Structures are given as structure tokens and as C-alpha cells.
Amino acid sequence: MFRHHIKIGYRNLLKNKTYSAIKIGGFSIGIAAFLLITLFVKEELSYDQFYSQQDRIYRVLNVSTNPDFQVNEWPSFSAPIANLLNTDYPEIETAGRLIVRDWFLAGENQFRKSTENQNNYEEGFAYVDPSLLDIFEIKMIYGTREESLSKPFTMVISKKVADKYFPNQNPVGETIILNDNSEEPYTIGGVMQNLPSNTHLEFDFLLTFVGVEFWDGEQTDWCCQNYEPYLRVKPGTNIQQLEEKLLAIKEDYLLKELIDTENAFAEVVKNHRSFRLQPIENIHLQSGVIGDNFKHGDLRVVQLFGAIAIFILLLACINFINLFTAKSANRAKEVGIRKVAGSFKGELVRQFLTESILYSGISIALGTTLAYLSLPFFNQLAGKNIHIPMDTYWFFPSLVLLTLVIGLLAGMYPSFYLSKFQPIDVLKGNISKGIKNSRLRSSMVVFQFTTSIVLVVSALVVYNQMQFILKSKVGFDKENLVLLHGASTLGDKTKAFKEELGRLPMIEDVTNSSSFPVDGTLRNNNQFWINGQQKIDKGVSAQAWRVAGNYHSSMKMNLLKGRFFAEETNRDSFATIINQTMAEKLGLENPIGEQIWNGGAWDIIGVVEDFHFENMKREIRPLVFFKTRGNSAIIAARIQSEDFSKTMASITGVWNKFMPNQPIRYSLLDESYAEMYAETERTGNVFAACAFLAILIACLGLFGLSTFMAEQRTKEIGVRKILGASSSNLFQLLTYDYLKLVFISMIIGAPIAWYLMKKWLQYFEYRIDIVWWFFIVAGVLVAGIALLTVSRQALKLTFSNPVDSLRNE
């Protein structure tokens, strides 16, 4: 019986080639999109899920309910935290600290073997306690978790690095020089397996904390928060109770330090600070507001993608259902005869379901191939490195499962619908050719176009927000600025280098700082008070940037009050320039001449207009500038725009003269600025791609439907022509119905899109308004495409000879 069903399905498929191609084509596209998005979602959800002690690994977070802080959770603590966790809390099996941000040797360094002179720029340095090798279950290739980092100045490198610098040898015991500092060489203590792509941790060089003290007394001081602790609890630990016990840290150490220094901030900490243990698997997707130094995914984006995947699949199923039922008249006779021949309804349902599963099987095979072919494009779009897991035990079984589920989903309604036909009606010829369940068919078409319109509007909004970000006045001139990185190794030669660079004809200006208004440059948060109030109020938390004297003029920032720093090195050593927001937060109407305090007093000499130094998702925060004492990580040159490559060649020449052992490394500020919004741009691209797919699938279905309707109406059109209808009358008649559906879709889709995009835009502190023409553009676009789709059939019919269609009656 089953074979019989397959056979019939197959013959039907071959017989109606156009319809089959539409059904399978739409299905395949939908399935390819569904597969890719599902793999993306799966990858995102798989982060940090592979530990053998999975449910016992946590990160410790500070939680502040103080409304003045933008960031309400952050992972950094003072140096003694690890010892404290290890000794005072029996529930904690082991704890360790991590530093990944740019901090002394963490972050990026110049790297060379002690036997060579050529420096190599490397990223991904982290300081770790040896216990983290155990907590993160790092797999060692050479050396052991216990021994590799147990001595001062030892490091563990990843296999990738080992293969690069020590191919085919065991590098343990080799000596490494960082940043030309041959007085403090490092020894390789071990090699670890490369970290998998689905962990929030990203590093290739682990430097031991053993023997490290960044300044005198630093390791026992509760002053500063630079360390991020991770821990593993003992089995059966009650996490909530442990979090409550951790409050002792606040009482015994944090508050004590603040009260000892008579810091008014103590009050805030006392009332608002608590601690949270974040399970390691939540770090990737659920750290949106946590200010840490990892790249994160976003659970909301993952959910959004998941929803879009399901919608696209639904659209594809709808095509199938619509065409199947539309063509059902042709199958009705078969149903009638089979019933007369003794078939029960259930048997027929099974037959039609088998047929739809056959279609879904073919479509899944095609869709998987399509997904495979479009994978590079998708990876670029989503900013991921996903592969199709052909080699896993579950991949092909899940495809089979998917085939069944989709086959049933799409085949259910048509099967029951078809098998309901009564033989007597069919055999009498009572079934009109165009079986009119058109209301259902229309609502399904409306569903498809509503989805399309929502996606088009979304893509438009995201695109416009992106343009807004890139074109809006940011408060400085981001064009034609080259940043030279790794400049701190210039040391005393910084001044000479700047001068020589400044003499090049195509260079307008040269300045230096470690902090620039793009991601990936130094950020440094501090607490400031109006001098004299440090024991009275809680102060203002602000960024503190050290910049060269000409920084503001080089960056072309706008001075609102007072003056910029003097360019001479020895002046303005105790002066500060603040931004507008800082002045507001301090409550100073006329800040010039006032002093701010932060372990020392600074004279405010200028106020600059607010500029965006962080993502526009955030409000502009208070910022304070000091004059740098000498060298810094970045030297910035403003160049003349023409002939970029020649300019860069000249700059490289100067660099190589000063730093023969360190290759030049540069970036363009405007590119880095755009990079900050790569995620936003990707979201826009995904919306655009999905909108395109949705419209494509919907139009495939519409094309099928209109072809079918045209077949049905051939005779009617013939009669109308003979009665004197003009071609344009007929064209309107044939397309009006479809345009009506698009119009209804617009009315339904507009408020949905408006609501969704309103919510999305709320992530941005600086955003566009949703204006009426987004909807008009989306509507006209979708209506236009729909009209093009149906007009082929309409025109064909309109210009056909009525005699032909009426002759065979």
C-alpha cells in the first residue's frame, strides 16, 4: 500500500511540472533558510555547555541597584578575592581570577622568541590563576594543569600559537620576550588545546598570576577592581545561600576600605551592593548589561532569529497547502473513484500524507544542498563560522524527522480536505473546477504578505537607524584619521617619532592617547567629586582619559567653554577638561576655575561638547581628560584624503626607521567606528535577506495560484470579451483580487512592524523616529512585486482569443 502511495505521488509530481517545481522550490528555499538559522541558533545556545562539572561553574558578579550607575552588574573585584573565596567559603571547591582586558601584559603584546629579534604582534593574552586551568577544564597537550603555571613568569600557549612558533616540537621550557622587555622573560610551561568556538573565553596566551604584583601592596589592597573571579562549588551547594554569605565581602572588606578613607561612596555601597553567581553557560547570551570584556551574543537576537526561521518555514508550508487545495478539483475524481473502489477516508488521508511527505523529503534534500551552498554567504551575514554538522550522529536522523514533521504539517489540511469529497458529487460532476474555499486561501496569502511587509519595514528601519548612526554628528571628525597601534614600545622616542611624522607633507596633525572614541581602546572609570565634597556626597563616576596636549584640536572636538590644553609638555599638569555631561552631573553651571578631586585636585580649564565615545545604544557618559605624561598606546595622524596608499607607505617608512623590529599596525578611525555597529548592520542584513526570502516564497505561491486561477477563468474571460470587455478592464479584474490581499496585509502588518521596531529602537539611546513613509515604501514594494508576479498570467489571459477558450464547450 505504501509503495502504491509513493508511486502515485511520484507520477503526480511529474505530471504537473510547473506546480511541482513551485511547491518544491518554495519548500526548498524555506527549508534552507530554516536549517541555516536553526544551526545559528543552536550554535549560540551551545556556548559553554561542554564542561564535565557544568552546573558547578560560576562567575562572580557585583550587583548594584544604585540608579546612578548605567551598568548594574559587573564582574571585577580586588586582588585578594580569590584567596578569600578559597579560604573562607567551604562550599567553594576552587576559585581563580582572570584578566582579559588591556591591563599590563593582558590583551595585546609584541611577542618574540628569546633567540630572535623580530617582534610579532599577538592578541589574546590573559592573566590567570593556575586554578582556572582546572575550573575551565583546559585540555593540556604539553605540561599539566597543576604544574604549567605554578612558577612566576610562566605562560601557557594554545596549540595554534605553538604550531606557529614551534612547529613539530615541544615548546615547554622555551623562553619568550614580551614587548622587548628582556629583563622579565617568560618561560613556556605548557601547551593547551585551542579553545572551542562556542565558549565566551577567548585567549591564546595565559600568563600566570603567581609572583605578580602590579604595584607595591597591590595583591592585598581592596582599593581597585581589576580581577574577574570564577569558581567551582562543591556538589549540592545551595547557590542562593552562598550568594547571601558572600555579602560578608561587602561588610568586611569593601565598606571597611571606603570607611577608612572616609569616602562618601560607602553609603551607596552599603545600601545597594550585592553579589550574584552567574552560571558559566549564561555568560554568552545573558550578559547584555554586564560590563565585561567579552564579545557577547544576545538572547533577544537569537529568539528573533528563531521566530523568523519558523515564520519562513510556515510561509513555505502555506504555498504547499494553497497549491495542493487549489488543484484539488483534479484529484477529486480520483478520490471519488477510490472511494467507490472501496477505500476508507483514513486510507485516502494516508495516501495524501504520504504524497506530501514525499514532497517534503525531496525539498529537504534540495534545501540541505542549498543551505550547504549558501553557507559562506550566511556566515558572512551572521558574522559566524558555522558548518553543517554532516559528521554528527544526529544530523541525518533529524533531517528525517524534519521531513516527517513538515510533511505532516503541510499535508494535514489538504489531506483531510481532499478525502472528504463524496463520490456521488464527484461522479455526477458536481464539483466545480475551482473549488471555492477561497477565504482560507486568501487568509493564507494575507499571512504570507503580512510577514513580508513586517520584514521589509523592519529592514528599512534598521537600515535607516544604521545610516543615522553613521551620518549623525558625533562631536568629532572621524574621517581621515589613522591610528597607529602598539606605540607604547616607542618609549622615550615618542616625541621624536611624532615630530618626524608631522613633517610629512600629507600629514595634517599628529596626536597621541591610549583612549579614542572607538571600541578596543583604553577605558578607565573613576570616581570624581567637586573638590571638598568627597566626604559629603557620593561623587560622579566618569571615564578618565589621558591625552596629548593637542588631542582636542586634532580630533576637531568643539570647545564650549574655557580652553584646550597647552601643547607644551610641562604646562597644565594639574588641569582637566571635562565634557558637557560631566559638568551637568557635577551640577556646575560655570565649571571653569572649579576643581574636581580624585585622590588629588584638578583645575577645570575647559568644557567640550558631548561626543559619542561609546555605542549609541548608550547615553553619553561623563568624561574627564588629563594631559598624558609621555607615551601612550596609540599615535593618531590626521591625513589628507588623496592617495591613501602613498601616505601609508610614507608613514610606514618613518615607523620602520624608529621600530625596525616591530611591524606597523594601524587602523582607520572611521572604520573602527563603523565596526562598533557591525552587530546592528548584521541585524539589518538579516532582516533584508529574510524579507527577500519571504517575498520570494510568497510570490512563488502567488504565481502558482494565479496560474491556477487563470486556468479556471479562461472561459469566463472569453465570455466577458465577447460581451465587449476591454483589455484593461480584464487586466484589472484579474489583478484586483491580489492587490486587495496585499492591501489587507499592509493594514495588518503595519502596526505589528511598528510595535516590533519601536521595541528594537529602544535599545538605542540615540535613534530615529519610525515615519509613515517606511510603511508606504514597504507596501508599494510588496504590491509592485505581487503585481508583477500575477500580471504574466493576467496578460496572457487578457490577450487570448476568446474563440479558443469557448470552442471546446
User: Which residues are near other proteins by CB under 8 A?
Assistant: 1, 4, 8, 11-12, 15, 333-334, 336-344, 347, 422-424, 427-428
CA angle 582, 586, 590 (to 5 degrees): 90
Q: Which is nearer to other proteins, 15 or 387 (CB)?
A: 15
**First vs last Cα of the chain: how many Å apart?**
39
Give the nearest distance from C-beta 701 to other proteins in angstroms. 24
Nearest-angstrom CA–CA distance, 647 and 641 = 9
Of 198 and 422, which has the nearer Cβ to other proteins? 422
Tell me the H-state helices in 668-677. Answer: 669-675
Q: Which CB atom, from 53 or from 343, has the smaller least distance to other proteins?
A: 343
| Least distance in angstroms from the C-beta of 20 to other proteins | 13
User: Please, what is the minimum distance in Å from the beta carbon of residue 330 to other proteins?
Assistant: 9
Instruction: Report which of 560, 555, 595, 598 is spatially closest to residue 579, judged by C-alpha positions.
Output: 560
Find, among 670, 666, 471, the residue nearest to 555 by Cα.
670
Which is closer to other proteins, CB of 352 or CB of 760? Answer: 352
At CA 40, angle to CA 39 and CA 43, rounded to 5? 85
CB-wise, 388 or 427, nearer to other proteins?
Answer: 427
Cβ proximity to other proteins, 7 vs 300, nearer residue:
7
- Smallest separation (angstroms) from other proteins to the CB of 414: 17
Shortest Cβ 714–other proteins spacing (Å): 20
Residue with Cβ nearer other proteins (428 or 433) = 428
Q: How far is the CB of 345 from other proteins (least distance, A)?
A: 8
| 287-to-59, 71, 101, 136, 200 alpha-carbon distances in Å | 11, 11, 16, 19, 11
Least separation in angstroms between CB 334 and other proteins: 5
- Taking the complex as a whole, the smallest distance from the CB of residue 793 to other proteins amounts, in Å, to 24
Long-range contacts of 140-147 (CB under 8 A, 24+ apart): 140/190, 140/191, 140/192, 140/193, 141/190, 141/191, 141/192, 141/193, 142/170, 142/171, 142/172, 142/190, 142/191, 143/172, 143/189, 143/190, 143/191, 144/190, 147/189, 147/190
| Nearest in space to 672 (alpha carbons), one of 461, 479, 467, 464 | 479
Nearer to other proteins, 5 or 498 (CB): 5
- Output the smallest distance, CB 416 to other proteins, in A: 15
Main-chain dihedrals φ then ψ at residue 496, nearest 5 degrees = -60, -40
β-pairing, 186-192 vs 154-158, is parallel
Whether 457 and 757 have beta carbons less than 8 Å apart is answered as: yes
Give residue 91's identity as a one-letter amino acid code.
E
The DSSP call for residue 79 is T
Look at the block and give the residue holding cell 616591530.
Answer: 662
The neighbouring-strand residues paired with 192 are: 140, 158
Between 339 and 713, whose beta carbon lies closer to other proteins? 339
Q: Nearest 5°: phi and psi at 3?
A: -60, -40
| Cα angle for residues 236, 240, 244 (degrees, 5° grid) | 125
Answer yes or no: are the C-beta atoms of 368 and 423 closer than 8 Å. Answer: no
Give the residue with the Cβ less far from other proteins, 1 or 723. Answer: 1
